[in-house]
């Protein structure tokens, strides 16, 4: 895992930003929990385990930096919380989107990858002359667990 951190450190430096313990600690939290869709408060709590003196304001400021550098993505799962997750696309190259399946009963969130929207994007491009560069898809429904529970009732 040192590679990722080195990349991050380079990224900071090349943008005139400094490498600080707090920033590294927050990155580590995000890296340890990919696809966990953490809220700011959760990130704050996790970081405090290793870096108890950190302030909430620093977490907010660092999240902003990470977001600007496209290291993490902002996420809205309609549960009233703003969430963040590692930007996986930036590691795997462009075009590898991942989307979210949100269970309306238990609130769990599954992730899936799919590039099937390309045909849609082409059609949009032709019919509306809108150049699509990215997309976000959220699917709502009922997860395997919740479906089983309903069947057994």
3 makes contact, choosing from a copy of itself, DNA, none, with CB < 5 to 8 Å by partner type, with none
The number of CA neighbours under 13 Å toward the Cβ of 10 is 6
Return the number of the residue (1 or 116) whose C-beta is nearest a copy of itself: 116
The closest of 70, 65, 22, 64 to 46, measured between CA atoms, is 22
- Nearest distance from C-beta of residue 107 to a copy of itself, angstroms: 14
Residue 34, C-beta contacts closer than 8 angstroms, at least 6 positions apart:
85, 86, 88
Return the number of the residue (51 or 142) whose C-beta is nearest a copy of itself: 142
Residue 127, C-beta contacts closer than 8 angstroms, at least 6 positions apart:
none
Is 135 labelled as part of a ligand binding site? Answer: yes
The number of CA neighbours under 13 Å toward the Cβ of 2 is 0
Coil, strand or helix: which one is 41? helix
Q: Which residues bind a copy of itself (CB under 8 A)?
A: 74, 76, 78, 101, 103-104, 110, 112, 114, 116-117, 119-121, 124, 128-144, 147
Is 143 labelled as part of a ligand binding site? Answer: yes
Is 103 labelled as part of a ligand binding site? Answer: yes
Is 136 labelled as part of a ligand binding site? Answer: no
Return the number of the residue (35 or 79) whose C-beta is nearest DNA: 79
């Amino acid at each position: 895992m040192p590679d990722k951190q080195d990349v991050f450190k380079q990224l900071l430096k090349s943008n005139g930003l400094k490498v600080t313990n707090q920033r590294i600690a927050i990155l580590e939290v995000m890296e340890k929990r990919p696809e966990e869709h953490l809220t700011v408060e959760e990130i704050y709590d996790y970081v405090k385990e290793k870096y108890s003196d950190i302030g909430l304001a620093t977490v907010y400021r660092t999240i902003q930096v990470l977001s600007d550098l496209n290291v993490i993505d902002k996420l809205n799962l309609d549960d009233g919380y703003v969430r963040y997750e590692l930007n996986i696309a930036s590691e795997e190259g462009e075009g590898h989107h991942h989307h979210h399946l949100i269970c309306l009963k238990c609130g769990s969130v599954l992730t899936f990858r799919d590039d099937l929207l390309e045909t849609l994007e082409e059609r949009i491009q032709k019919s509306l002359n809108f150049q699509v560069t990215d997309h976000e898809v959220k699917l709502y429904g009922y997860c395997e667990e919740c479906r089983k529970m309903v069947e057994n009732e």
